[in-house]
């Protein structure tokens, strides 16, 4: 098997600015329902740090999928966490179709935060014949 790797770094401050400027419209355009539920602080406000990590994961996924000009909605790439907090990716619609077209057998994701930044690395396992 061969692999393809994508990486991205996103500023939590930039996400906070988008939230401030566009509010719900930004959230619904970029994040899945599950991501919006998973990224809420105790007070019920969106957590820009957690959202930034998910945005970085979406960008890293597009890079690992070797996207060219294909229009891929942000919400067709979702970041989920298991009971232990380990992240995984869920692709739907156009993102899932692109993964099939590229011969992706599996995806792995890692997220991290440091200060005002969040980063993600995505590794795609590609079938040899693609």
Q: Which domains does the chain have, with CATH numbers?
A: 2-126 (3.90.470.20)
Instruction: Give the Cα separation of 49 and 60 in Å (integer).
Output: 17
CB neighbourhood size of 80 (10 A): 15
Two tokens, residue 30: 């970029």
Q: What is the pLDDT of residues 37-60, one digit of tens each?
A: 999 988 889 999 999 999 999 999
Contact 54, 39 (CB under 8 A): yes
> Where do the H-state alpha helices sit in 4-111?
12-30, 33-38, 48-64, 93-102
Least confident interval from 17-21, 36-40, 124-128: 124-128
Instruction: Give the Cα separation of 75 and 77 in Å (integer).
Output: 5
The pLDDT value given to residue 129: 63
Average pLDDT (74-96) is 95
- Residues facing residue 77 across a β-bridge: 91
Confidence label for 128 from pLDDT (cuts 50, 70 and 90): confident
Instruction: Give the Cα separation of 69 and 89 in Å (integer).
Output: 21
Residue 46 sits at the vertex; the CA angle it makes with 83 and 93, to the nearest 5 degrees, is 65
Residue 69, Cβ density class (10 Å: 0-12 exposed, 13-18 middle, ≥19 buried): exposed
Question: Whole-number mean pLDDT of the chain?
Answer: 95
């Amino acid at each position: 098997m061969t692999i393809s790797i994508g990486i991205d770094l996103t500023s939590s401050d930039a996400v906070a600015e988008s939230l401030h400027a566009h509010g719900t419209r930004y959230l619904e355009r970029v994040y899945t329902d599950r991501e919006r539920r998973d990224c809420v602080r105790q007070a019920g406000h969106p957590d820009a740090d957690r959202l930034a990590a998910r945005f970085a994961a979406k960008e890293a996924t597009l890079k690992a999928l070797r996207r060219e000009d294909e229009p891929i909605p942000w919400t067709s790439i979702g970041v989920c966490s298991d009971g232990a907090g380990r992240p995984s990716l869920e692709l739907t619609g156009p993102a899932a179709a692109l993964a099939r077209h590229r011969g992706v057998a599996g995806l792995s994701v890692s997220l991290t935060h440091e200060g005002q930044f969040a980063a993600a690395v995505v590794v795609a396992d590609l079938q040899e014949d693609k």
